Chain A
Amino acid sequence: MRTNPFLTPSADSAPAGIRSAPISRREAIRLGLLGAAGLFLAGKWDSQAFADDAPQVKIPVQAKARAVIQVFLWGGMSHTDTWDPKPDAGYDYTGQFKATIQTNVTGILLGELFPELAKQADKYSLIRSMTHHNNGHETAAYMMQTGHMPGERLAYPSLGAVFALLKGYNAGYKGLIPPYVVLTQPQGRFSESGFLGSKYKPFATGGDPNAARFEVEGVIARGITDERQIARRDFLHTMNTMGHAMPENSQLAISKEAEEQAYNLILGKGKEVFDLSKEQPELRDRYGRHTFGQDCLVARRLVESGVPYVTINYPGGWDTHSNHFATMRRQCPQLDQGLATLLRDLSDRGLLDSTIVWCCGEFGRSPKVDWQPPWNGGRNHYGNVFSVLVAGGGFKGGHIVGSSTEKGEEVKERPVYPIDLLGSIYELAGIDPDARLPHPMGFEAHVLSPAEKGAKSAGRLREIM
């Protein structure tokens, strides 16, 4: 079995953002990509295999964004009820939400449920012409999170997994927390790590940060004292009879190393990043005492501690085929509060300039309300046009990109395709979108592939970069 060389955290590699040349094989070794695993695995790698897998990554001298927080509104949030209001479209379109709200940027209006975001409009820009014309959850989620078209032979990794590869342990990240974290549940609509393999899957925290204690799965166990934790670890080590009988086995060395890293987090100080009692109660209140609000606070703490990519999968989702208006009345204020506080808090701490925040679902929702049973006032999947919020990390605030037609049904000006949005994020983070990704079979694969069948592009978001 060919071994993926990108497996071990390196102790001595350079921090992200300061390398400018493609990483050659020799350089990769110097950077320590072979690392500890190399000591017992090097024999299995022939140099050809390594050369095939080595990514040709050009990291510009100055990447503006060091980290990304993705708020994924899975299920698909209505664009017309929120960030692209169409108050004059008529009741069959607006339903209950006819009112709009003026933001702190002249000319930008939001739906009535976003008073807090309205006060922060200078910090973010809204794309109102996002489009991919796909109405299936899985396919649309794949397109929005990988930038690739379905139907290829390959299954590509999500943006977060690419960050874990290129901004994680191979690029100088030294944290104990894995470089790609999901709060709190994995989205599970497609394999986020694609062909990169499970090493690059997101670490899903589980638990609830709004609970009295945020029990991060595998890190913070309920009812086990540290004393017992240490005692049973020592017990495990003395009881590992087979391990002792095969001290030279390379498989068991992998097991041992993974265990050591796990215990560094379980018994070390690294887990304090999840301890929200270290925050001021007033700030926690501002984020909102609900799961999403506290997710946002954890995301900020993670980014502060150096984690390069954090995804918040919106708790409960936005797939409002029925009971749409009541769900929006309940969820939008929480989204408004959490996201607005996150932007302000990042900005207050000087982190917004180096942290991209992007927020959208896999698609929007049909602008025309479906009053028929069984929906009784619902909105369905809609990929023709929808909205995305982007902020920080080199994205300018206070702008609107593109527009939708009168009733929010089609793109009117300046379409933005997934490849345009993701290409912009990669560029700001110093990841070359044309870079080759390592494929375990040596197939040719790139971070983004504009030439893919069916892929469309209208250019990166230069107007706000």
Chain B
Amino acid sequence: MKTLCISALLFVAISGSVHAADSEQTLFEGSTCILPETPLDRIVSRKLSKLGVKPVMCSDSVFLRRAFLDVIGTLPTAKESREFLLDQNRNKRNALIDRLLDRDEFAYYWAMKWSDLLRVKAEFPVNLWPNAAQAYHHWIMVSIRENKPYDQFVREMLTANGSNFRVGPVNFYRAMQNKTPEGIAATVALTFMGTRVESWPQKDYLPGMSVFFSQITYKPTREWKEEIVYWDPDKKLAPTNSAMPSQTALFPDGKKLKRVPPDQDPRVIFSDWLITPKNPWFTTCLVNRAWFWFMGRGIIHEPDDIRPDNPPVNPALLEYLKKEFIASRYDMKHLYRLILSSRTYQSSPIIPQSDAPAEVEANFGFYPLRRLDAEVLIDAINKVTGTSDLYTSAIPEPFTFIPENTPAIALPDGSITSPFLELFGRPARATGLLDERLNRFIPTQKMHLLNSSHIQQKLEKNPNLKAILKSKTNPKEIREELYLAILSRFPTPEESGKVEAYAKSGVMNKREAWVDLVWALINSDEFLYRH
């Protein structure tokens, strides 16, 4: 196997056929599709060729699985895998991208990512309360489903007024531990500018910016835990801890607003400053985040640590994405499609030989391996085994009871959880920092996957396996069906031989041998990692 892959790598590297389809396919590399080099690819290649690296495309089966996991956080079914792999259409990759961007799971999965950033959680340390968390999540999910332009999405949050139960986006101002004007300003800077106020050298910038958020008022109603968030023009306009005149506000670029007009919501003034193509942070932050989500690494890295002394690794790439995003009027799906249909995104997961591996990684010379997110992983296991998990919240409210078979990516509230999600590093949604999500394997996670009763029961119960064993008797067909469902590809002859040998070893009966195959495949790196 190893030699096969390496020889394929050499083949593609030497032949260097960039525009035509790479006809030779191995398990992980090569392509049967025509995929032209895009302007984006040319910008990336320019840096990579200086490093002596020519990226290799990933195989169709790798692309299929990657696209499903990255775009909808969900595994393809055996049927979907078979159809795609056997499809002779040379444009099938782009067609799949379009189909995935229209699926319901797209909205759920991306609402999950945004809910991490926007801290959608009923209790602690962000205390939204269950119905408010769900109103917030619903608004996010619907915005994504409708492909709401990003500028509008942000403006609706920053300028929202109303009840936390009824107007989803007002919860932006509630979903933070520190709700002082400075705390709000820090959250706005992190969320929409990708900067950490802790690293701002000018000490008066944060108090100056906080003026824009100093007239936000929170008022309880007679309904339990309901709160109205609104602009109160009568509230004193004042920067905290600052020697500045009380009506002067400061934009984060240092521009001064001498007098905030008394008849204008200062949040609107701030939004007008932030949400323009000229703003140095607004578009940069979003396109860089999108790139990070797909490529595992920001052009500016970390993506929520934008500052002058942390420059982009490829400024031309960042400029190109920004230009495209602005020209499309902040169309998120356009941006995603741009990245997804590039050869850069569709590059091999195998690290190319080079003298500067860190540079190659930083310049996107291959697709980096990443362990599946906690939610995606349990959904994948449940889908493969035909089982489900129970999700509960410590807060016994009607809103926290979740119907069976709800996928974890669709959970509307960070307080609704399971021991599996907690163990596998689901973020606490305490700070909105990207680093809260931890996908690095630790031994207790392996113990759980290899040997827990939670997983073992799924493997034993497995109605999907029962159905396959009932309808098929030919071991070859059974193997194929399992491989397509679990690894989204056909087994190699070598793998088939190993499966047969295992069944004959005599340690377990026939059914147990199939159970163990499912167990081995879901514990394989190929299953556990986006690749």
Size range of the interface on A?
Answer: 35 or more
A373 CB within 8 Å of chain B: no
B242 CB within 8 Å of chain A: no
B27 CB within 8 Å of chain A: yes
**Chain B residues near A218 (CB-CB < 8 A):** 444, 447-448, 450-452
A249 CB within 8 Å of chain B: yes
Nearest-neighbour CB distance to chain B for A308, whole angstroms, equals 16
**Chain A residues near B125 (CB-CB < 8 A):** 138, 142, 150-151, 155, 190
Binds B, one of A219-227, A293-301, A329-337, A338-346: A219-227
A238 CB within 8 Å of chain B: yes
**Chain A residues near B435 (CB-CB < 8 A):** 1-2, 440-441
Contact check, B448 vs A239: say whether CB atoms are below 8 A apart: no
Binds B, one of A63-71, A194-202, A379-387, A395-403: A194-202
Contact check, A246 vs B350: say whether CB atoms are below 8 A apart: yes
A 239-258 to B, binary, CB cutoff 8 A, 1 in contact else 0: 11111111111011011001
Binds B, one of A14-22, A259-267, A284-292: A259-267
Nearest-neighbour CB distance to chain A for B195, whole angstroms, equals 12
**Chain A residues near B123 (CB-CB < 8 A):** 138, 189
**Chain B residues near A136 (CB-CB < 8 A):** 127
B196 CB within 8 Å of chain A: yes
User: Once the chains are docked, how many angstroms separate the CA of A204 from the CA of B419?
Assistant: 9
Q: Which residue of chain A lies nearest to B454 when distances are taken between CB atoms in the complex?
A: A217
| Given A235-B502, A255-B525: A245 touches B5 (CB 8 Å cut-off) | yes
**Chain A residues near B442 (CB-CB < 8 A):** 198-199, 258
Interface residues of B in 278-323 (CB under 8 A from A): 297, 301-302, 305
Contact check, A203 vs B444: say whether CB atoms are below 8 A apart: yes
Q: Which residue of chain B lies nearest to A151 when distances are taken between CB atoms in the complex?
A: B177
User: Once the chains are docked, how many angstroms separate the CA of A430 from the CA of B186?
Assistant: 36
Interface residues of B in 482-518 (CB under 8 A from A): 492, 495, 498-499, 502, 505, 507-508, 512, 516-517
User: Once the chains are docked, how many angstroms separate the CA of A263 from the CA of B531?
Assistant: 25
Interface residues of B in 32-50 (CB under 8 A from A): none
A186 CB within 8 Å of chain B: yes
User: Once the chains are docked, how many angstroms separate the CA of A239 from the CA of B483?
Assistant: 12
B431 CB within 8 Å of chain A: yes
Nearest-neighbour CB distance to chain B for A87, whole angstroms, equals 34
A44 CB within 8 Å of chain B: yes
**Chain B residues near A239 (CB-CB < 8 A):** 495, 498-499, 517, 520-521, 524
Within the complex, which residue of B178, B394, B454 is in contact with A151, where a contact is CB–CB below 8 Å? Answer: B178
Q: Which residue of chain B lies nearest to A264 when distances are taken between CB atoms in the complex?
A: B443
**Chain B residues near A236 (CB-CB < 8 A):** 519-520, 523-524
Contact check, B447 vs A43: say whether CB atoms are below 8 A apart: no
**Chain B residues near A194 (CB-CB < 8 A):** 428, 430
User: Once the chains are docked, how many angstroms separate the CA of A236 from the CA of B527?
Assistant: 12
B96 CB within 8 Å of chain A: no
Contact check, A261 vs B425: say whether CB atoms are below 8 A apart: no
A215 CB within 8 Å of chain B: yes
* Most A CB within 10 A of own CB, among B124, B198, B443: B443
| Given A153-B183, A255-B441: A265 touches B453 (CB 8 Å cut-off) | no
Interface residues of B in 302-355 (CB under 8 A from A): 302, 305, 349-351
**Chain B residues near A255 (CB-CB < 8 A):** 371, 441, 446, 525, 528-529
B156 CB within 8 Å of chain A: no
A107 CB within 8 Å of chain B: no
A443 CB within 8 Å of chain B: yes
Q: Which residue of chain A lies nearest to B198 when distances are taken between CB atoms in the complex?
A: A443
Q: Which residue of chain A lies nearest to B430 when distances are taken between CB atoms in the complex?
A: A155
Contact check, B178 vs A261: say whether CB atoms are below 8 A apart: no
Contact check, A262 vs B451: say whether CB atoms are below 8 A apart: yes
Nearest-neighbour CB distance to chain A for B427, whole angstroms, equals 9
Contact check, A44 vs B358: say whether CB atoms are below 8 A apart: yes
Contact check, B507 vs A138: say whether CB atoms are below 8 A apart: no
User: Once the chains are docked, how many angstroms separate the CA of A1 from the CA of B292?
Assistant: 11
B417 CB within 8 Å of chain A: yes
Nearest-neighbour CB distance to chain A for B132, whole angstroms, equals 15
Contact check, B521 vs A441: say whether CB atoms are below 8 A apart: no
A135 CB within 8 Å of chain B: no
**Chain A residues near B531 (CB-CB < 8 A):** 242
Within the complex, which residue of B127, B519, B526 is in contact with A241, where a contact is CB–CB below 8 Å? Answer: B526
**Chain B residues near A7 (CB-CB < 8 A):** 440
Q: Which residue of chain B lies nearest to A188 when distances are taken between CB atoms in the complex?
A: B394
Within the complex, which residue of A219, A227, A244, A249 is in contact with B507, where a contact is CB–CB below 8 Å? Answer: A227
| Given A44-B358, A441-B196: A245 touches B508 (CB 8 Å cut-off) | no
Q: Which residues of A contact B (CB under 8 A)?
A: 1-2, 7, 43-44, 136-139, 142, 150-155, 178, 185-186, 188-191, 194-195, 197-199, 201, 203-204, 206, 215, 217-219, 221-224, 227-229, 231-233, 235-236, 238-249, 251-252, 254-255, 258-259, 261-263, 265-266, 440-441, 443
Return the 10 tightest CB-CB contacts between A and B, nearest first: A218-B447, A138-B124, A191-B428, A155-B430, A262-B446, A242-B526, A261-B443, A258-B441, A251-B369, A262-B447
Q: Which residues of B contact A (CB under 8 A)?
A: 1-2, 5, 27-28, 123-125, 127, 177-178, 183, 186, 196, 198, 297, 301-302, 305, 349-351, 357-358, 368-371, 394, 417, 419, 422-425, 428, 430-431, 433, 435, 438, 440-448, 450-454, 456, 492, 495, 498-499, 502, 505, 507-508, 512, 516-517, 519-521, 523-526, 528-529, 531
Interface CB pairs A-B, < 8 A, 19: A1-B301, A150-B177, A152-B178, A153-B178, A154-B431, A186-B422, A190-B428, A198-B424, A201-B444, A203-B444, A223-B456, A224-B456, A236-B524, A243-B525, A243-B526, A254-B440, A255-B525, A262-B444, A265-B447
